[in-house]
């Protein structure tokens, strides 16, 4: 098992003790996004702070490590209103942060008052960290969609329906993802945004993600471990998960 020992201080003054990953968890208490099961494999990414955070969501130090690692694995595409700052277009346009596009509802989607979906694509870790604070697309309310695609390829071609289904926590048509050769994986908020769900479409991406997370943790002098599902529950000590487990 790969492990690094250490700790890092977060911007709030709390200390990040460690980050942990569990492969292919199955307990229903996690309430995994249905789209993850369309991939080759999936994982849960969690963390432990020295004291329980006052706010839900991903601490700054954790977001930094995660985005550093994922940005080395590919482009990150997510919902963010910054896309409205460039000329609105359903196709990708160059922007200071990377690329932007805006997907608008048409036909019955428009008649149902479904939302406009602004997308930002980047390979820069500091830009990618904005996905955790992208109101009204709230990470803690599971209102964010993140697609990981190949670094060497153009930004991924995403349909309005695919993004909307992911946003609403619905099962995405498997072929809609698997036939898009540039997509390597999906990233989704866990319950209350206190975990990160990783879904792997590309068979090689799981190893790449784990390697990059290990390196990012080593650089930050933070403990890194691949753990069992049961260990993840104990190490992260998430009240919402403890309640869900005891209620079943």
Q: Tokens representing 31?
A: 């309430």
- pLDDT bucket at 172, cuts 50 / 70 / 90: low
Top-confidence residue, 31 or 73: 73
Report pLDDT digits (tens) over 69-116. Answer: 999 999 999 999 999 998 889 999 999 999 999 999 887 766 667 899
Residue 241 confidence (pLDDT): 40
pLDDT at 204: 86
Calculate the alpha carbon distances from 207 to 42, 97, 125, 163, 230 in Å.
12, 27, 19, 26, 21
Residue 101, classed as helix, strand or coil, is strand
Which two tokens mark 57? 């969501």
**CA–CA dist 51, 53 (Å, integer):** 6
Least trusted range by pLDDT, from 168-177, 196-205, 211-220: 168-177
Q: What is the pLDDT of residues 51-71, one digit of tens each?
A: 776 666 899 999 999 999 999
pLDDT digits (tens, 9 = 90+) for 213-230: 999 999 999 999 999 999
* DSSP category for residue 151: T
The structural domains of the chain, with segments of one domain joined by +, span: 3-238
78 versus 40: the higher-pLDDT residue is 78
Nearest Cα neighbor of 183 from 23, 63, 40, 67 is 40
Flag whether pLDDT at 6 surpasses 60: no
pLDDT band, very low/low/confident/very high, at 191 (cuts 50, 70, 90):
confident
Residue 175's pLDDT band (cuts 50, 70, 90):
very low
For residue 34, what pLDDT is reported?
80
Which positions ≥6 away from 20 have C-beta within 8 Å? 45, 46, 47, 48, 224, 225, 226, 227, 231, 232, 235, 236
Would you state the pLDDT for residue 155? 95
| Residue 113 confidence (pLDDT) | 74
Spatial separation of the C-alpha atoms in residues 48 and 182, rounded to whole Å: 33
Give percent above pLDDT 90 in the chain: 55
Q: How far apart are CA 65 and CA 205, in angstroms?
A: 17
Tell me the average pLDDT of the chain: 84
Predicted confidence band of residue 149 (pLDDT cuts 50, 70, 90): very high
* Predicted model pTM: 0.85
pLDDT range class, residue 123, cuts 50, 70, 90: very high
In three-state secondary structure terms, 17 is: strand
Beta strand 15-23 with 223-227 is parallel
The 3-state DSSP class for residue 18 equals: strand
Q: How confident is the model at residue 247 (pLDDT cuts 50, 70, 90)?
A: very low
Q: What is the pLDDT, as a whole number, of residue 228?
A: 95
């Amino acid at each position: 098992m790969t492990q690094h020992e250490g700790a890092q201080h977060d911007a709030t003054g709390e200390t990040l003790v460690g980050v942990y990953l569990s492969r292919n968890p199955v307990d229903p208490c996690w309430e995994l996004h249905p789209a993850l099961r369309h991939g080759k494999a999936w994982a849960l990414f969690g963390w432990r702070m020295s004291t329980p955070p006052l706010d839900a969501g991903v601490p700054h130090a954790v977001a930094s490590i995660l985005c550093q690692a994922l940005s080395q694995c590919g482009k990150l595409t997510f919902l963010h209103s910054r896309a409205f700052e460039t000329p609105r277009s359903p196709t990708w346009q160059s922007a200071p942060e990377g690329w932007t596009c805006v997907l608008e509802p048409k036909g019955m989607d428009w008649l149902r008052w479904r939302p406009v979906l602004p997308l930002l694509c980047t390979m820069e870790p500091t830009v990618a960290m904005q996905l955790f604070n992208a109101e009204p697309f709230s990470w803690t309310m599971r209102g964010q969609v993140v697609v990981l695609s190949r670094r060497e390829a153009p930004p991924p071609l995403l349909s309005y329906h695919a993004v909307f289904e992911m946003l609403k926590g619905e099962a995405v048509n498997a072929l809609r993802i698997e036939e898009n050769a540039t997509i390597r994986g999906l990233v989704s908020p866990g319950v209350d945004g206190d975990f990160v769900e990783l879904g792997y479409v590309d068979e090689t991406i799981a190893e790449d993600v784990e390697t990059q997370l290990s390196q990012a943790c080593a650089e930050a002098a933070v403990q890194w471990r691949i753990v069992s599902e049961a260990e993840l529950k104990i190490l992260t000590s998430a009240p919402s998960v403890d309640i869900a487990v005891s209620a079943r």
